Amino acid sequence: MEFWTRLLNVVLAIAIGCGGVIGLFYLANIAINALPKPWNQRLLPWVYISPALLLLSAYLILPTMQTFYLSFLDGRSQNFVGLKNYIFAFTDRAMLIAFKNNLLWLVLVTGVSVSLGLIIAVLVDKVRYEPIIKSLIFLPMAISFVGASVIWKFMYAYKPAGDDQIGVLNALLVNFGFEPVGWIVEQSVNNFALIAIMIWLYTGFAMVILSSAVKGIPEEVIEAARIDGANSWQIFWRITIPMIRSTILVVSTTIIILVLKVFDIVFVMTGGNYGTEVIASRMIKEMFNYRNFGRGSAIAIVLLILIIPVMISNIRRFRTQEKLR
């Protein structure tokens, strides 16, 4: 009995959910058509985008404005404190470490995963085992940040010399006669250890998209280059890269945005300790652990401002591409 009521519930929910949306547009259409001539044409587009606009303002625009407003108030959002939270965001010792680390993340994750992705895409192009190699490299994409961090926690696990090493990397080191390394504790290596996780996750993404761009290069162009006597190296630098440049930029900007938002890896691996904090993990700490809404919001706004130029360039590129078509 319960099963059937539940099933009925599900069916009805789907019917109303989908039917409701269709019905809404249908009704809106009727209402618009009932209006006098010049008006209905002008209003029609607005009616169609209004649900999306409403949702966007409720879930994106209003919270952003609210955050902006809170960033000028104190920790409990009661008194106006002017730019104090922003001054904190740019002068606090922990924040400066976070900025420095984020820059390191940006350069290394974007640089390494895009170039590795490109190299692999070009190298395996038209190779017999291409699908297998590509699937293997793409696989980590399916793992969440938290899942990947847990996996790498085991990779980096440290036991004192003399104990059985349970971490793969330290087991290898000890086997070759070296001392085990505290990968996520020692400040000389830990940031790189965390960055490696994200590179592992996103090289596959860059590779797949760049590979399809590489395959999109017309065969005639390459043939012409060959006939003119270009070697593979020259083809790569003079033909492949210029022809897929816009794709490289789109992949890079996408990864840049992802890196600016990265928080999960740091949260799981080190909790921001040992000098590994990034901007987003600092934001979560200020906002939810220390309950300082002013500082948390200010950091969120700083992060937003950092991301905006990247997004604008992404949109511009998309537009010029559309025009070319």
Partner 1 sequence: MFFVQKKSPLKLTSLALSSALVLTGCVGEQTTSGDDTTSDTKQVTVFGVMIGEQQEKIEAALAPFTEETGIEVVYEGTDTFATTLPIRVDSGNPPDLAMFPQPGLMADFAREGRLVPLTEFMSLEDLQAAYDESWIQLGSVENVPYGVWYRASVKSLVWYNPQQFAVNGYEIPTTWDEMLALSDRLVSEGKTPWCIGMESGDSTGWAGTDWVEEIMLRTAGPNVYDQWINHEIPFNDPAVENAVNIFGDIVRNEDYVYGGVVSALSTPFGDSIQGLFGEDPNCYLHKQGNFIEAFLPTDINLNEDVDVFPLPQINPEQGLPILVAGDVFAMFNDTPEARQLMEYLASKTPHEVAAGLGGYLSPRQGIDLALYPTDLSRKQAEILGNAEVIRFDASDMMPGAVGTGTFWSGMVDYVGGADAETVLTNIENSWPE
Q: How far is the CB of 158 from partner 1 (least distance, A)?
A: 5
Q: How far is the CB of 70 from partner 1 (least distance, A)?
A: 12
Closest CA to 152 of 162, 142, 167: 167
Q: How far is the CB of 105 from partner 1 (least distance, A)?
A: 19
Alpha-carbon gap, residue 306 to 312, rounded angstroms: 11
**Of 190 and 252, which CB lies nearer to partner 1 in the complex structure?**
190
Binding site for partner 1 (CB under 8 A): 1-2, 5-6, 8-9, 12-13, 15-16, 19-20, 23, 26-27, 30-31, 75-76, 93-94, 158-161, 163, 182, 184-187, 267-268, 270-275, 284-286, 288-292
**Of 45 and 160, which CB lies nearer to partner 1 in the complex structure?**
160
Three-state DSSP at 290 gives: coil
**Of 15 and 61, which CB lies nearer to partner 1 in the complex structure?**
15
Amino acid at 224: A
Three-state DSSP at 230 gives: coil
Three-state DSSP at 162 gives: coil
Alpha-carbon gap, residue 213 to 318, rounded angstroms: 15
Structure tokens at 168: 């793969």
**Of 76 and 215, which CB lies nearer to partner 1 in the complex structure?**
76
| Angle of the 93-105 helix axis to the 245-261 helix axis, nearest 10 | 150
**Of 74 and 130, which CB lies nearer to partner 1 in the complex structure?**
74
Closest CA to 307 of 280, 277, 288: 280
For the chain, what is the largest distance between any 2 Cα atoms, rounded to a whole number of angstroms?
Answer: 87
Q: How far is the CB of 240 from partner 1 (least distance, A)?
A: 44
Structure tokens at 155: 């990779």
Three-state DSSP at 9 gives: helix
**Of 135 and 187, which CB lies nearer to partner 1 in the complex structure?**
187
Q: How far is the CB of 27 from partner 1 (least distance, A)?
A: 6
Q: How far is the CB of 94 from partner 1 (least distance, A)?
A: 8
**Of 57 and 78, which CB lies nearer to partner 1 in the complex structure?**
78
H or E element, residue 133: helix 130-138
Give yes or no for a contact between 128 and 192, defined as CB atoms under 8 angstroms apart. no
Alpha-carbon gap, residue 287 to 98, rounded angstroms: 16
**Of 139 and 146, which CB lies nearer to partner 1 in the complex structure?**
146
Q: How far is the CB of 264 from partner 1 (least distance, A)?
A: 11
Q: How far is the CB of 16 from partner 1 (least distance, A)?
A: 6
Alpha-carbon gap, residue 286 to 267, rounded angstroms: 13
